[in-house]
Amino acid sequence: MFGFILQRLWQAIIVVIAMSALVFCGVYAVGNPIDVLISPDATQDIRAAVIAQYGLDQPLWQQYLTFIGRILHGDFGRSFVYSMPVSELILSRLPATLELTLVAVLFASLVGIPIGMYAGYKPHSPISRAIMALSILGFSVPTFWFGLMLIMVFAVQCGCMPAGGRGDTVSLFGVDFSFLTFDGLSHLVLPALNLSLFKFSLMIRLARAGTRELMLSDTVKFARAAGLSEFTLLSRHVLRLISIPLVTVFGLELGSTLAFAVVTETIFSWPGLGKLIINSITSLDRPVMVAYLMLVALLFIVINLVVDLTYALLDPRLRKGRA
């Protein structure tokens, strides 16, 4: 197990180094932030002074080495637009995005998996057919359209839900949470539903396919012959056997939801990283763009590492085969 962990950590370090170079070169090849930072009427002397101030007069390789050196000291630079350290700026927005993402993915998993297992357990019942139709709808409907419909129905027509914002928050261990207040929870419901739509449908179909396949296997037949109840069969055996693909999807969807919550945060004016990166792209705020993309890449790497370790815990054969 120790060798397995070291192997995964070494692979993660290589990926982080490669991603840092790709992200830095990709972002710094797009646009010129000087055109946004200073007035077009500025003199050449002022323009040259601003370029030197931000180190943009240096060769790209030298800027990259400076960037790596700062990262090793925990310094991601200063935002061109907000004039504050990028790390502080991202940390101020990260809790809102994390809260929204975790609520959406947990809802999709905790509700979608049992529903999908029921659809696989009784595939020909009317309820199961309705569940599968709902999952197809979740795959087909665009996220932005579904979000606008939620706002129109529940915020505009019914007036029972707020249309946007985060609402009241409560500070816990120095971090603001909105789900701990009624107003904040009401602001969280619609964006979380919108963000969880695709994940919810995906969990339903995966759980349904895995359960359907296992219900026809000899494992289930022998378990029934041993006198196990249907609830024990589903909760202790079927759920465990289908857990590996579900863990994979949960990990990947957690990372992708965190990275691509931009549309939902924009529609519902959620003050998270999604709105921050959109504003940064518009204003060519390079330090924020690089730090955001590096954070996303690092999150994917960490999540994949955790998923691999979870594999080894769920199935010892994987641990012995890869060690």
- Helix or strand run (H / E) with residue 175: strand 175-177
What pLDDT does residue 220 have?
80
Q: What is the CATH T-level fold of the domain 86-318, as seen in this structure?
A: MetI-like fold (1.10.3720)
What pLDDT does residue 315 have?
62
C-beta separation of 76 from 85 below 8 A: yes
| Position with higher pLDDT, 96 vs 313 | 96
Q: What are the pLDDT digits (tens) for 56-76? A: 777 777 878 887 888 888 777
Residue 217 has pLDDT above 50, yes or no: yes
Residue 89, classified by CB atoms within 10 Å of its CB into exposed (0-12), middle (13-18) or buried (19+), is buried
Residue with tokens 């202790």: 236
C-beta separation of 177 from 95 below 8 A: yes
Please report, for residues 1, 7, 245, 287, 318, the alpha-carbon distance to residue 308 in angstroms, rounded to integers and kept in the order given: 11, 11, 12, 32, 9
Residue 318 has pLDDT above 80, yes or no: no
Q: Rounded distance, CA 273 to CA 69, Å?
A: 25
pTM: 0.77
- Helix or strand run (H / E) with residue 201: helix 182-215
Please report, for residues 55, 81, 84, 277, 308, the alpha-carbon distance to residue 78 in angstroms, rounded to integers and kept in the order given: 12, 9, 5, 15, 35
Residue 89 has pLDDT above 70, yes or no: yes
- Reported as a pLDDT band with limits 50, 70 and 90, residue 152 is very high
% the chain with pLDDT above 90: 7
% the chain with pLDDT above 70: 90
What pLDDT does residue 191 have?
92
Q: Sketch the domain layout of the chain as residue ranges.
A: 86-318
181 DSSP β-pair partners: none
Q: What are the pLDDT digits (tens) for 226-263? A: 887 888 888 878 888 888 778 777 777 777 777 778 88
What pLDDT does residue 130 have?
92
Residue 271, classified by CB atoms within 10 Å of its CB into exposed (0-12), middle (13-18) or buried (19+), is middle
Phi–psi pair at 295, nearest 5 degrees: -65, -45
What pLDDT does residue 4 have?
66
Residue 323 has pLDDT above 50, yes or no: no
What pLDDT does residue 303 have?
78
108-122, 169-183, 198-212: lowest mean pLDDT where?
A: 169-183
- Reported as a pLDDT band with limits 50, 70 and 90, residue 21 is confident
Residue 193, classified by CB atoms within 10 Å of its CB into exposed (0-12), middle (13-18) or buried (19+), is buried
C-beta separation of 107 from 192 below 8 A: yes
For the segment 311-316, the average pLDDT, to the nearest whole number, is 65
36-50, 97-111, 147-161, 271-285: lowest mean pLDDT where?
A: 36-50
Residue with tokens 């790596």: 68
